[in-house]
Amino acid sequence: MAFTRFDRINEELKKALSEIIREMKDPRISPLTTVMRAEATNDLKQCKVLVSVYDKDDSARRETVAQLNRAEGFIAREIGRRVDLRHIPTFEFKLDDSIEYSVRISEILAKLGAERKESDTEKESDIEDV
């Protein structure tokens, strides 16, 4: 029963954080920033937030996360206004690389599939030559 309550709290925090980040007007924060997951501790003192930033430049992605960590006080105040919680957690933003990882795996699999198809066509041409 307790897990459903914390799951609901985490989802509510995630939704509110997404709205707040989208509304922020800081040019150092990439407009293509997505909140992937919010994980609050059981006592709601801390919340780890995984964000994904769609940008080719790694330094721009890291700068976005650094700016979010610097704006933690503002974000916590906005969460306090939007989400009805007794205690507002402190937020720690971290970069989530899972999307990039899955894209890299897909590229590797596509490359292997192309090589396999190429080797199959070579085998077929060798059989036809005999």
According to DSSP, the β-strands at 90-95 and 46-53 are: parallel
- How is domain 2-96 classified at the architecture level of CATH? 2-Layer Sandwich (3.30)
Task: Please give the pLDDT value at position 3.
Answer: 67
Mean pLDDT for back-to-back runs of 10 residues, the chain (130 residues):
78 95 91 93 93 86 94 94 92 88 87 82 63
Within 10 angstroms of residue 62's Cβ, the number of other Cβ atoms is 13
121 membership: H or E segment, kind and range: helix 98-129
Domain boundaries, the chain: 2-96, 97-130
